[in-house]
Chains A and B, each alone.
Chain A
């Protein structure tokens, strides 16, 4: 017994020595180093104390594997320690304060002592004897605790009443990597001679979900496996008023063209999808009567036959090399994937005139079978290449090959917001000689609300070089009626080697009525010079109603 007391004293002395040593080391290090950061200072303030002792039974023998519980009297924090072979226990790092110490044996509280004071950097010794007196004293504490438990249960019932949720275990399947040895034994961790293999494993977890969460998940899962259908429908009406020239064929005529695109999308494999676009058009655009060089209604380009459905596009797309390279193959409108100017590229939401939607020098009139490849390094740089059949009447691809190559870069120049700068080059061998064209396309934000755009293109013609220019400005936020509205003004000019000229200006305001519905007003003026002395000009106010869902 004396030896044990001495040993405890030695251990206490060692602990003190260790503290002194640690303090000396700390002093040395703090003297040499910078002052510690704030959190470290706060951590140093978290002083603790200790409670140690022995648990004996009535005959004086140590009680083994008894759980001693210390509960902080003020905040209820609960700590536990287990007695060793000699009945000793230790709480080495208790936050300071008063504690209730208790021992439960065979479901009954055998000991309880309140108000044990734990001070900073001090150790308190509490030796416990489990006998009839200690059990009786504990029983009273037990009664009070029971009352507290009843109150807690009442609160729990109240919780359950207000939050009834599913609580059965959730199961799911996941892909795991395992290691299989020569005998076919599967290991979770690498073992000598085992090869890595991939398998699928079910796991069960305790995730409690509400009924609405379950339904949402099921609907989302079903949606992923189904074919998605989208609709983009628009009707554009325009009225033509002659402003220059003698031709009066279209003067005061009204025009309307309705278009409906049906999109079908389905996921086929990892990063691979199928897309089809079927379009039907009906109506009379101004282009049927006004012989301008460019289309006054961009939708006219889609019109193959009145009131008939036409398959515009049907392709497969897959993404490779960490989804940096996207390949699209099938029936394409290759120009959809190139020259994607942010301000002037969409006849359904931006300008209506084709001269302010496409670069006229791209020179592809029809959709056809082809391939497009897009490399996006996600650093702002993009490189695209595509080839497509340019003449659907051709009997082979070799003699109707249209190719298009583009390099683009997005960055924030001169402290301006982002801008994208592109240059493209195209060839077409569908005529007797291979025709080439080259162009640039720029969209640059000046502020979050204002963006400029510009295009230039030139191509080889039979009589020389044709040129096309367009430029303009787009607005969003700030000078608008509703938060998502946009508007813009643009100018385009085309000069052909044959001497034909066209100058076109358009302004529009697009009301974003709902997520699915837009209404826009347009005013276009076009001035064409088909010959040296022949000129005509028209002013075309128009309205476009567009729904996409």
Chain B
């Protein structure tokens, strides 16, 4: 075997570089997103699409149109990064997008008004909640087909899988119980009542009989052992032990808690109490309220970043900030006037918050440390929510 001469090596190397560049150029024609963690997904309700924004450059990578009058509600990427899915609330369908090529690869009929959704940790099952159909559509992500519709829920809003994927817990906004689903058989196993409706409720038909505002979500503790479920009408948070599937503590919070949001370090949970415009900060070690602090009207979300909690007050145009060390207010950030704030996601470094602002069709990026904001305009019509793969703050209204 003869060794090549240096000149041939250099020429060969140069050729390889040029040809590799050519080849990579060809490859890029088909692939729009090579790293699923590099983008923010934006669900645009009125332009009926899912838009993708590069986190580093703030440029739009592309968008996937779903069809007129689809009105997508929540977007989520599968844990393995292969697919992006959304439920089209007014189309009664689930939409599946290939992450790499941004092609809409499958449309699957669901039940009525699909909104919030969740993936099993192994990415195999996509549970789509259908609040108006009182059901969960189970979609197999291997065959990309709906394999079952689980009935028996009452306005199911959010689904939470256990870390081992064995069970899923469903918050029923039209009732005061959390549903337990056996993921192996996709069957509703049990209904866990969060708290008893007080006897005095019969004197107040205006509140208790006009419409139930029950449980939005059962949010997991840091280790997944416990779930925290806020009940709006009863103004309590029930703590569920997932080993025994029973309530071990009931914590009274402020009026009309929309839902609970868990801090990334697992120390606290925050309920956004729209009835009295406060937040209740729950210490998860003692399972008691550590502080109740003033907030704003019509809260739609809480994000955690930089040791602080950022509470979105949708109609006031403000994001209220709280220091999670001292548990006291740390100011508020004005996003705008006469605008509607929606929901937000936090990057995986816990440094930036990506907030959907629907009036001006923009995403507002908040620096958690300095509270400085940056606007990315024209992301699509009526951005309703955002999502980043592996973010700990992926939620919807």
Contacts and interface: CB of A to CB of B under 8 A. Distances in A.
Interface string A318-353: 000011000000000000000000000000000000
Interface string A361-401: 00000000000000001111000000000000000000000
Given A90-B29, A203-B381, A207-B45, A514 B204 contact: yes
B82 A95 contact: yes
Contacts of B331: 377-379
A232 B362 CA distance: 43
Given A13-B19, A39-B36, A39-B81, A163 B92 contact: yes
A48 interface: yes
Given A93-B30, A163-B112, A514 B203 contact: yes
A155 interface: yes
B327 interface: yes
Nearest to B35: A43
Interface string B1-35: 00000000000000010011011101101110001
B193 interface: no
Contacts of A323: 316, 318, 334
A162 interface: yes
B327 to A, nearest CB: 5
Contacts of B359: 174-175
Nearest to B200: A482
B31 A92 contact: yes
Contacts of B29: 90, 92
28 contacts: A11-B23, A18-B24, A39-B79, A39-B81, A39-B390, A42-B81, A42-B123, A43-B35, A43-B37, A45-B80, A46-B82, A75-B105, A75-B145, A76-B106, A79-B98, A155-B109, A156-B109, A165-B90, A203-B381, A270-B337, A410-B328, A412-B291, A417-B290, A417-B291, A448-B288, A483-B234, A512-B200, A514-B204
Q: Which 3 A-B pairs rank lowest in CB-CB distance, beginning with the nearest?
A: A92-B30, A14-B19, A75-B144
Given A206-B48, A323-B334, A448-B251, 6 more contacts: A72-B105, A74-B143, A206-B46, A270-B338, A482-B200, A484-B235
B113 interface: yes
Interface of B: 16, 19-20, 22-24, 26-27, 29-31, 35-37, 45-48, 68-69, 71, 79-82, 90, 92, 96, 98, 100-101, 103-106, 109, 112-113, 123, 132, 142-145, 198-200, 203-204, 206-207, 234-236, 251-252, 288-294, 316, 318, 320-321, 326-332, 334, 337-338, 359-360, 381-382, 389-390
Contacts of A411: 326, 328
Interface string A79-108: 111000000001111010000000000000
B145 A175 contact: no
Interface string A475-503: 01100001110000000000000000000
Contacts of A322: 334
A77 interface: yes
B69 A93 contact: no
Given A11-B22, A206-B69, A482 B106 contact: no
A171 B143 CA distance: 40
A483 B252 contact: yes
B208 to A, nearest CB: 9
Interface string A397-424: 0000000000000111000011000000
B98 A21 contact: no
A159 interface: yes
Among A205, A410, A512, find the residue whose CB has the most chain B CB atoms closer than 10 A.
A205
A380 B329 contact: yes
A122 interface: no
B270 to A, nearest CB: 14
Interface residues of A, number: 76
Contacts of A18: 19-20, 23-24, 27
A408 to B, nearest CB: 12
A222 interface: no
A30 interface: no
Contacts of A514: 200, 203-204, 206-207
Given A74-B142, A163-B113, A513 B103 contact: no
B80 A43 contact: yes
Contacts of B106: 75-78
A74 B20 CA distance: 33
Interface in A141-180: 155-156, 159, 162-163, 165, 167, 170, 174-176
A252 interface: no
Contact of A418 (B206, B234, B293): B293
Among B143, B320, B321, B328, find the residue whose CB has the most chain A CB atoms closer than 10 A.
B328
A483 B20 contact: no
Among A91, A206, A447, find the residue whose CB has the most chain B CB atoms closer than 10 A.
A206
A77 B145 contact: no
A228 interface: no
Contacts of B235: 483-484
A40 interface: yes
A76 B144 contact: yes
A14 B330 contact: no
Contact of B360 (A50, A92, A174, A448): A174
A15 interface: yes
A450 B157 CA distance: 34
A483 B257 CA distance: 14
Contacts of A513: 200, 203-204
Given A11-B26, A14-B22, A75-B144, A207 B46 contact: yes
B252 A477 contact: yes
A3 interface: no
Contacts of B326: 411-412
Contact of B330 (A10, A21, A379): A379
Contacts of B360: 174, 176
A265 to B, nearest CB: 15
Contacts of A515: 204, 206-207
Interface in A51-90: 72, 74-81, 90
Contacts of A484: 235
A412 B80 contact: no
A13 B71 CA distance: 46
A133 interface: no
A512 B332 CA distance: 33
A50 B27 CA distance: 10
A512 B235 CA distance: 14
Nearest to B199: A482
A465 interface: no
Contacts of B145: 75-76
A516 B205 CA distance: 11
B80 A42 contact: yes
A388 to B, nearest CB: 26
Contacts of B132: 163
A60 to B, nearest CB: 25
Contact of A90 (B26, B45, B200, B320): B26
Contacts of B337: 270
Given A14-B22, A514-B206, A77 B144 contact: yes
A80 B19 contact: no
Contacts of B316: 323
A76 B140 CA distance: 12
Contact of B26 (A13, A92, A167, A208): A92
Contact of B100 (A48, A156, A162, A165): A48
Interface string A32-50: 0000011110110110101
A15 B145 CA distance: 34
A426 B275 CA distance: 34
Contacts of B68: 206
A17 interface: yes
B59 to A, nearest CB: 15
Given A77-B96, A77-B98, A205 B46 contact: yes
B79 A42 contact: yes
Contacts of A90: 26, 29-30
B198 A482 contact: yes
Nearest to B12: A17
